[in-house]
Amino acid sequence: MSEGLPVRASVAEAYERLVAEGEIEGDPAQRALVAKLDSLNEHLATRRLAHKGSSLGWLFGKRQRERETVRGLYVHGAVGRGKTMLMDLFFAEAAPERKRRAHFNDFMADVHARVFRVREAIKAGTLKADDPIVPVAEEIVRETELICFDEFSVTDIADAMILGRLFTRLFAAGVVMVATSNVAPDDLYRGGLNRDHFLPFIKLLKEQTEVFELGARTDYRREKLEQLPVYLTPLGPDTDAAIDAAFARLTTGGTPEPTTLSVLGRDLAVPLASQGVARFDFADLCAQPLGPSDFLTIAHAFNTVVIDHIPVMDESRRNEAKRFITLVDALYDGHVRIIVSAEAEPDRLYPASEGTEAFEFARTASRLTEMRSLDYQKAPHKGFIVET
């Protein structure tokens, strides 16, 4: 680090350690991003030191005033290039004490909850405010000076209308953003309702962050997936162990955690997710009152979905079969890659021979078979707007 100021370990050190241990393959484009992340961390460390009344603070006071605004990073590129892994390495070493790492959908669900709480307080007369975004922004500024977003993607008109007002205040207060996304800033919310109102946020985003396209040589996640079984049957301890190992390999460099997605103003729980990969049990998706909007949101948010314990479904489980049909349609249309464990092969999962579900499940079985193919795995994940 410049000026001899230690931050802790550098992102470069953490990255090269993973390369040396054989966890990842070194890539020139990734190393270029690592250098950007380490440079950003130097600026954050210097700003932190200047804000503290330390004995070295006087050395950096003038320089700090000259560069009070620290530009963040907006990293975009195709899936599987290592964006999330590198951001996670950065977050682990980031200098600020007040920092937050969040999936973008989680963050926006939290923002909406805060806005609702503030509005209720304004109605009750316990808080005086004209715009609920103002106190919400003030809360966030008190809590963090660095926000790291994974899977930055705007699909909800409510999110689109809030972002500009919120981040104008966050950036003005010195909050720094680091984000990963599958799309460039100019492609955010493309095709969304009232997109013209969203364009000022895109301009602000490009002013406040350095946009970096990660053009790594290959889709590393696809390479991993090509080496893994994607449809495991029958169910049992060996299959459970195999799918555990596959999920661990796909999320190397990250820490899978529970998260939530916002669907039509309500929360959809995701038991585990990391680096664009989500993991569910069949019951999480098909034994719950979920519908097309839920499954489309999942298909948009994740490029790979792991589903455990798909059972054979008879006519007594018609509702679960209906949801499973809808789920597979959404994943297939979005070119989402899958790894599943199932009680039987696709054409035996719904043995009924009569009724609408039997006819539709024939298509589902065919799609599941195609989703096991190498050609399907090579197809790019589709991003699309979920109408609300």
For residue 150, give the H/E element and its range: strand 146-150
pLDDT reported for residue 102: 84
What's the mean pLDDT when you consider all of the chain?
85
Distance (Å, rounded) from C-alpha 88 to C-alpha 106? 16
For the segment 227-249, the average pLDDT, to the nearest whole number, is 90
Distance (Å, rounded) from C-alpha 128 to C-alpha 118? 10
Higher pLDDT, 185 or 109: 185
Residue 3 reports pLDDT greater than 50 = no
- List the chain domain ranges: 2-213, 220-378
pLDDT reported for residue 293: 87
Q: What's the CA angle centered on 45, arms 41 and 48, to 5 degrees?
A: 135
Residue 8 has what DSSP assignment? Answer: S
For the segment 190-195, the average pLDDT, to the nearest whole number, is 85
pLDDT reported for residue 269: 94
pLDDT band at 171 (very low <50, low <70, confident <90, very high): very high
Using one digit for the tens of pLDDT, what is the confidence trace for 121-157? 998 888 888 899 999 999 999 999 999 988 788 877 8
Distance (Å, rounded) from C-alpha 336 to C-alpha 191? 21
For the segment 288-316, the average pLDDT, to the nearest whole number, is 92
Residue 357 reports pLDDT greater than 90 = no
Q: Is 2-213's fold the same as 220-378's? A: yes
Written as one string, the DSSP assignment of 249-304 is HHTTTS--EEEEEEETTEEEEEEEEETTEEEEEHHHHHSSS--HHHHHHHHHH-SE
What proportions of the chain, in percent to the nearest 5, are helix, strand and coil?
50, 15, 30
Q: At what angle do helices 318-333 and 292-301 cross, to 10 degrees?
A: 40
Global pTM reads 0.63
C-alpha distances in angstroms, 270 versus 198, 274, 318? Answer: 28, 11, 24
Proportion of the chain above pLDDT 90, given as a percent: 48
Q: Judge contact between 132 and 122, C-beta under 8 A.
A: yes
pLDDT reported for residue 270: 95
Nearest CA among 284, 111, 101 for reference residue 176: 101
For residue 147, give the H/E element and its range: strand 146-150
Residue 57 reports pLDDT greater than 60 = no
Distance (Å, rounded) from C-alpha 221 to C-alpha 84? 12
For the segment 169-182, the average pLDDT, to the nearest whole number, is 93
For the segment 61-76, the average pLDDT, to the nearest whole number, is 68
Residue 54 reports pLDDT greater than 80 = no
pLDDT reported for residue 77: 85
CB atoms within 10 A of CB 323: 22
pLDDT reported for residue 144: 95
Higher pLDDT, 191 or 299: 299
Distance (Å, rounded) from C-alpha 345 to C-alpha 210? 48
Q: Which residues lie across from 146 on neighbouring strands? A: 99, 176
pLDDT reported for residue 258: 94
Q: Supply the CATH classification number for the domain 2-213.
A: 3.40.50.300
Q: Supply the CATH classification number for the domain 220-378.
A: 3.40.50
